[in-house]
Amino acid sequence: MTIQWFPGHMAKARREVTEKLKLVDIIFELIDARLPLSSRNPMIDEVINQKPRLLILNKSDMADEHETRKWVEYFAQHGHKAVAINSLEGKGLQLVTKAAQEILKEKFDRMKSRGMKPRAIRAMIVGIPNVGKSTLINRLAKKNIAKTGNMPGVTKAQQWIKVGKELELLDTPGILWPKFEDQEVGYKLALTGAIKDTITNMEDLAVYGLRFLSTHYPTRMEERYGFQFMHDDLVETFDHIGKLRRVFGAGGEIDYDQVAQLIVRDIRGLLLGKLTFDFVDEQLEKEATQQ
Ligand SMILES: Nc1nc2c(ncn2[C@@H]2O[C@H](COP(=O)(O)OP(=O)(O)O)[C@@H](O)[C@H]2O)c(=O)[nH]1
Ligand SMILES: [Mg+2]
């Protein structure tokens, strides 16, 4: 699979984030709870430098809850506070403000002890496309979008969104790109819908999906399609699903392209259940061998 982002766009996105960093106290790094590693920008640490950050695992309603809990713990052990939320239904949003206050407690206590007037925490959301940045902003905003004038150092007028009394959010999120040069990461991003179909080979993607399921969620295939996927017989698998779901071409033969699309649609639509594609245990193993 070849996925191309344009270096010019990436550089521009990065510049925009860097420019706005000085306006905020904290970065909210939004990641997909289904792929807490693959949905991160590989340069994020470099981009946001020393700025405090809260990791927000969004779309937790679509992820494997057990794995989500392990990821929150994993990040905590690596020095990053993380919370799991569902922006679509507004679940867990109160955790965001609370966690931000905890992270910034020292800084704000210091400001107070120097006699500075208390103010709201200022934050900016960053994340890869489709991770839910706009959904989260709209959820938090309710009707509290406050217009402000031009701000120093920023060309475009910024708006701050008031979230209760404690938090103010920049209305435009920073867009960063995922690590697309890794094929496996590409497949995972495609299976969760972060990457558009037009740049993905559907058959390869469906096969990756089936292999992934049979390794990590072996009972799901059985429940949905009534049989176990055989690694060594892809044609048989496609035939089986094609017949089961009656995916025939004009001449009555099984339309493999449509079968592939159906498998991918089923995975994305949670018809094979809630799925997590990055695993803490695999990551820990990788880290152990790298040392
Ligand atoms: N199930 C679920 N869907 C979400 C959640 N947050 C966002 N979405 C969906 O993900 C898609 C992309 O969201 P959007 O906010 O446009 O992403 P952005 O590109 O980061 O601004 C939309 O279809 C949203 O409805 C969530 O927590 N759960
Ligand atoms: Mg958006």
> Residue 127 pairs with which residues in a beta bridge?
175
| Residue 190 in domain | no
pLDDT tens column, 178-223? 877 788 999 999 999 888 766 678 999 999 999 999 899 989 988 8
C-alpha 221/C-alpha 218 separation (Å) is 6
| Residue 2 in domain | no
Ligand nearest to the CA of 89: 1
| Residue 196 in domain | no
| 175 Cα nearest atom in ligand 1 | 20
Domain match, 53 and 108 both: yes
CATH number at residue 118: 3.40.50.300
Residues 6 or more apart whose CB falls under 8 angstroms from that of 24 comprise 51, 122, 123, 124, 170
Domain match, 165 and 35 both: yes
| Residue 193 in domain | no
C-alpha 67/C-alpha 27 separation (Å) is 24
Domain hosting residue 129, numbered range: 7-170
Last residue of a domain, one of 147, 170, 193: 170
Number of domains into which the chain is organized: 2
pLDDT tens column, 76-123? 999 999 999 999 999 999 999 999 999 999 999 999 999 999 899 999
| 30 Cα nearest atom in ligand 1 | 20
Whether residue 289 contacts residue 281, with contact meaning beta carbons closer than 8 Å, is answered with: no
Tokens of 134: 């706009």
pLDDT tens column, 30-63? 999 999 999 999 889 999 988 999 999 999 999 9
Nearest CA to ligand 1 atom 13: 132
| Residue 136 in domain | yes
> Residue 145 pairs with which residues in a beta bridge?
161
Binding site annotation covers 138? no
Beta-carbon-side half-sphere exposure of residue 275 (alpha carbons within 13 Å): 27
Domain match, 156 and 251 both: no
| Residue 177 in domain | no
Is the CA virtual torsion 14, 201, 2, 220 positive or negative? positive
What is the distance of C-alpha 36 from the center of its chain?
6
Q: CB under 6 Å to ligand 1: residues? A: 58-59, 61-62, 86-88, 127, 129-135
